[in-house]
Amino acid sequence: KQEVTQIPAALSVPEGENLVLNCSFTDSAIYNLQWFRQDPGKGLTSLLLIQSSQREQTSGRLNASLDKSSGRSTLYIAASQPGDSATYLCAVRPGAGTALIFGKGTTLSVSS
């Protein structure tokens, strides 16, 4: 059974720092992996989608990497800002016609 783990559960950093959020999954046979952001009381906003054949995806200050063989993904946030404060969720899709399996998230707080 696929399980997704995110470490750390919470992270506090000062504004301007670069940071890395970690995601690991137990079964390397995934179809794709998606990183989301969730603000308090809100739904999920998709940040990056990495297909199983890809190694990384970039969007602005965000870079997500994928190492299927080791069952790991990282989300790198450059030059963090207070507006980046949110919970970041990692989710894997086991197959083409399956739903996402989520980690419990990392709650990020960026102080000014």
Partner 1 sequence: GAGVSQSPSNKVTEKGKDVELRCDPISGHTALYWYRQSLGQGLEFLIYFQGNSAPDKSGLPSDRFSAERTGGSVSTLTIQRTQQEDSAVYLCASSFSGGAVEQYFGPGTRLTVT
Q: Which bin fits 42, alpha (ψ -120 to 50), beta or left (φ > 0)?
A: beta
Terminal-residue alpha carbon distance, the chain = 41
Q: Among 11, 13, 19, 44, which residue interacts with partner 1 (rule: CB under 8 A)?
A: 44
Among positions 4-43, residues that touch partner 1 (CB under 8 A) are 4, 31-32, 34, 36, 42-43
Residue 45 found at the interface with partner 1 (CB under 8 A): yes
User: What is the chain's length?
Assistant: 112
Binding mask 90-109 for partner 1 (x = CB under 8 A): -x----xxxxxxxxxx----
Cα-Cα-Cα-Cα dihedral sign, residues 50, 73, 54, 62: positive
Minimum distance from CB of 61 to partner 1 (Å)?
19
